[in-house]
Chains A and B, each alone.
Chain A
Amino acid sequence: MNVIVNGDDKILDAGTTVADLIHLLALEGKRIAVELNMEIVPRSEHTTTILRQGDNLEVVHAIGGG
């Protein structure tokens, strides 16, 4: 299935969870936050949130800013 992660197309297996995606992106243990179709996915729900065709994800972190 196709999803969009940070504006880029990505092909994932059916049944992939948010936690699986974070693992695939090598972002496990990093200080990040995930938004799925404009809604926050709390960390506690990463393993239970299954992605679907056409989902739009944003994965963000903190950077320098004023």
Chain B
Amino acid sequence: MTNSTAATGTGNPLIIDGKTYQSRLLVGTGKYKDLDETREAIAASDAEIVTVAVRRTNIGQNPDEPNLLDVISPDKYTILPNTAGCYTAKDAVRTCRLARELLGGHDLVKLEVLGDQKTLYPDITETLVAAEELIKDGFKVMVYTTDDPIIAKRLEDMGCVAVMPLGAPIGSGLGIRNPYNIRMILENATVPILVDAGVGTASDATIAMELGCDGVLMNTAIAAAQNPVMMARAMKGAVECGRDAYLAGRMPRKLYASASSPIDGTFFK
């Protein structure tokens, strides 16, 4: 008899920096229509780790406007502040320090240092500088990077608590463009590897998990769906299915057919 909890993935939790998570789906909070839709989609995704951005407060505008953290409460979710929009290590480090202050000392951050606005590809040299400084300053760094296995290993060796290669450019929805690189990264890894960026629909998330990724982080694939709440639910299932298929171990690919029904006992010639 198989273990029914293992079949739903709950017997095999995701562990990041010593903390256990039942969900392997991490979601962003950007691009939603309003805070109600944000809350509903995040609830439907069953995600436990939720990313937020840090921006200037709108001074003098709508003082009673609800705050994102009132809707996505740090008491309920692990808030993962990002450094989106940062193009230098210096700005990324400033952003993380502000986030830590904002969240009362919470030190888990998503580091991303971008190269240009058109591709939003990571600037690796700046990412390495920022990661080093943040780790020295006590941050637990989950780092967004390219799907380069050498860089992924270097980031791990520096002390990043998770390495998050892109599947395709941020917000592109192109899926996992280089599954072989993701596999190389996975084979060398001793920290969780999460695909961050590029997922467009549920099957993309499943593919990432079938490769053996420890989790998937996405935002636009849910927020830009025609029905974000339904897509959030689809993504939850997709990540669980992919994880189960990975753990179950797929059959080998074969060029020719192999009959499923036995030949013995046929009554015709």
Contact = CB atoms under 8 A, between A and B. Distances in A.
Interface of A: 5-8, 25-27, 30-35, 38, 40, 42-43, 58-66
Contact of B102 (A60, A65, A66): A60
Contact of A43 (B31, B59, B81, B101): B101
Interface centre among B59, B68, B79, B171 (most CB of A within 10 A): B59
DSSP class of B's interface residues: helix, strand, loop or mixed? mixed
B82 A66 contact: yes
Given A65-B29, A66-B31, A38 B63 contact: no
Interface of B: 28-32, 38, 51-57, 59-60, 63, 67-70, 79, 81-82, 84, 94, 97-103, 170-171, 217-220, 223
A34 to B, nearest CB: 8
A8 B55 CA distance: 15
B59 A65 contact: no
A46 to B, nearest CB: 11
A59 B98 CA distance: 9
A31 B217 CA distance: 25
Contacts of A38: 94
A25 to B, nearest CB: 5
| 7 A-B pairs with the lowest CB-CB distances in the bound complex, closest first | A65-B53, A66-B28, A66-B219, A33-B102, A33-B101, A64-B29, A62-B52
